[in-house]
Amino acid sequence: MSTFAVIQMISQPSVEANLQRARILLEEAAAGGAQLAVLPENFATLGCGDQAALARAEAAGEGPLLSWLARTGRELGVWLLAGSLPLFGEGAACGRPHASSLLLDADGQCVARYDKLHLFDAQVADGRGLYRESDDFAAGQRIVVADTPVGRLGLSICYDLRFAELYSALRLAGAELICVPSAFTALTGAAHWEVLVRARAIETQCYLLAANQGGVHPGGRETFGHSLIVDPWGAVLANAAQGERVVLAQRDASAQQALRARMPVFEHRRLYPGPLQASSQESP
């Protein structure tokens, strides 16, 4: 059995304060035996303004995020999935960074990077109303899977959750677990969060590690919380409700393999995902 954690935060405009809170929560996850810990979307940068400026600082080696992640993973001896942070890279357009998840091993080395494919441009009937993620970020171009101590991990971020074909592609690329660091709004989360997470788990027969932002942020933005760990049958193993929390669960690899053998849905498929190509063990 392998153990993993999802971490729920209520991130603020201060990067330094967010990193301090994340460190405390990651220490709790490590103390609980987690081999992999998943941080939420924008864990350090929610509400921090100019995302391109943050990305330029990281690219110049003057930002705090990449060095903090490497040091924290190494000191705690835990694999980290850094929910999302702004990073420039191949394909970034119009001066916009990508919203990128980084996977770091227990030595603090980055072993995979995923740039968010689906950007949240939508109107929501909440206090903010219009969300236009594409104003700040460029969309990614490929799916990413990577081997970890808890199994083969597929990477996704937040709004990706609404696009089932991505998750089918991750399963076809060998994913056994899929992480979904998120910042779902309170309104959309109440309507769709749990049903989408559970559906993606059932469809792919993967564990879903869904780390959400969970509370009221400066400026009146409210996120839903209820971070989830769901097993391949769709059963909720852990639910964080709201507030800053750490929840842990374990993977039973033998039970997962037995489920896939009893119900080989991916051998029965008649339709397949589109032309996205898997990229394994990508580094930034």
Pairing of strands 278-280, 121-123: unpaired
- The residues, any chain, with a CB within 8 Å of residue 166's CB and separated by 6 or more, are 117, 118, 143, 156, 160, 273, 276
**Count of CB atoms situated within 10 Å of the CB of 257:** 13
- The residues, any chain, with a CB within 8 Å of residue 280's CB and separated by 6 or more, are 144, 145, 146, 173
Residue type, 83: G
Catalytic residue among 110, 116, 222, 244: 116
Among 186, 217, 223, which Cα is nearest to 13's?
A: 217
Catalytic residue among 16, 27, 28, 41: 41
Catalytic residue among 58, 110, 158, 222: 158
Instruction: For residues 174 and 205, give the distance between their C-alpha atoms in angstroms, rounded to a whole number.
Output: 11
Residue type, 254: S
To the query of whether residue 179 is one of the catalytic residues in this protein, the response is: no
Place of tokens 């788990």: 201
- The residues, any chain, with a CB within 8 Å of residue 264's CB and separated by 6 or more, are none
The tokens describing 67, both together, are 């060095």
Instruction: For residues 282 and 73, give the distance between their C-alpha atoms in angstroms, rounded to a whole number.
Output: 18
To the query of whether residue 158 is one of the catalytic residues in this protein, the response is: yes
Place of tokens 């899977």: 145
Q: Are 151 and 2 in contact (CB under 8 A)?
A: yes
To the query of whether residue 110 is one of the catalytic residues in this protein, the response is: no
Give the active site residues. 41, 116, 158
